[in-house]
């Protein structure tokens, strides 16, 4: 190979490699993170955990312009708390995300898909500094996952994912519009782990 040909080949290779995004750059931004507001570390960790399980339907947008998120066969738009004009976010979650009886027979994978789309949509909302009313139903889903895991005999080793801790997160994020009866109904579920 002549020196000019080798230099030209090297130049073209370097030019192309500079213009192509690296794998880590492509993976760094999930399809549902649409804005540029920095995410809290805990939310960024969640994005990293769920981004391979969540896709986006960009033909439909949901809260704060976030594309409709999809995990498994679950679309956020089909379980969007904000689409219910007759109930508060937590009351919606209490009704929509009810478990089976007995609790241990509840599909963990369905609840995981529902939680994935709520977590993804929340990350998207946070990325545009949007309204965080989604937190109450998201924490309720986490709470239900903890209940199901406990009923199925799975040991919860992360103190932040226990039934008791997540109950506190649900109540804290419930908002002033939630009735005491709704909060009491959620609290009663914490004692029902069979």
Please state, in angstroms and as integers, the Cα–Cα distance from residue 38 to each residue in 117, 127, 165, following that order. Answer: 20, 6, 26
Inside any domain, residue 2: no
Q: What pTM was computed for the model?
A: 0.85
In this structure, is residue 23 part of a structural domain? Answer: no
Q: Is residue 177 situated within a structural domain?
A: yes
In the DSSP assignment, the letter for residue 178 is S
Beta strands in the chain (DSSP E): 54-61, 67-71, 74-75
**What is the three-class DSSP state of 68?**
strand
Confidence label for 1 from pLDDT (cuts 50, 70 and 90): low
For the segment 61-114, what is each residue's pLDDT rounded down to a tens digit?
A: 999 999 999 999 999 999 999 998 889 999 999 999 999 999 999 999 999 999
- The SS3 assignment for 70 reads strand
pLDDT in tens, 141-189: 999 999 999 999 999 999 999 999 999 999 999 989 999 999 999 999 9
The confidence score (pLDDT) of residue 7 equals 46
- 173 in Cβ contact with 89 (< 8 Å): no
Structural domain contains residue 186: yes
Backbone angles phi, psi at 99, to 5 degrees: -95, 170
* Distance in angstroms (rounded) separating the CA atoms of residues 128 and 38: 9
Could you list the residue range(s) of the whole structural domain that residue 95 is in? 30-190
Q: Does residue 81 lie in a domain region? A: yes
Residue 38 in domain? yes
Instruction: Write the pLDDT tens digit of every residue in 43-58.
Output: 999 999 999 999 999 9
Is residue 17 domain-resident? no
- pLDDT at res. 172: 96
Identify each DSSP E strand in 20-115 by its residue range.
54-61, 67-71, 74-75
Contact 113, 72 (CB under 8 A): yes
Q: How far apart are CA 63 and CA 74, in angstroms?
A: 16
Contact status, residue 61 vs residue 68, Cβ threshold 8 Å: yes
Residue 9 in domain: no
| Domains in the chain, number | 1
Q: 63: alpha, beta or left, given left = phi > 0 and alpha = psi -120 to 50?
A: beta
- Say if CB 170 and CB 90 are below 8 A apart: yes
């Amino acid at each position: 190979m002549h020196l000019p040909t080798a230099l030209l080949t090297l130049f073209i290779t370097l030019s192309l490699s500079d213009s192509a995004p690296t794998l880590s750059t492509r993976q760094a931004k999930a399809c549902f993170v649409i804005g540029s507001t920095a995410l809290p570390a805990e939310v960024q960790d969640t994005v990293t955990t769920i981004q391979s399980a969540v896709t986006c339907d960009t033909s439909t947008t949901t809260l704060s312009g976030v594309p409709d998120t999809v995990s498994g066969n679950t679309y956020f738009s089909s379980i969007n708390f904000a689409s219910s004009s007759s109930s508060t976010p937590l009351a919606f979650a209490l009704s929509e995300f009810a478990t089976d009886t007995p609790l241990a027979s509840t599909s963990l994978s369905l609840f995981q898909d529902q939680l994935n789309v709520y977590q993804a949509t929340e990350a998207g909302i946070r990325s545009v500094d949007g309204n965080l009313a989604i937190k109450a139903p998201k924490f309720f889903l986490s709470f239900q996952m903890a209940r199901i895991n406990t009923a199925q005999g799975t040991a919860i080793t992360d103190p932040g994912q226990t039934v008791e801790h997540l109950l506190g997160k649900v109540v804290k994020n419930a908002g002033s519009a939630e009735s005491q009866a709704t909060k009491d109904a959620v609290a009663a579920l914490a004692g029902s782990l069979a």
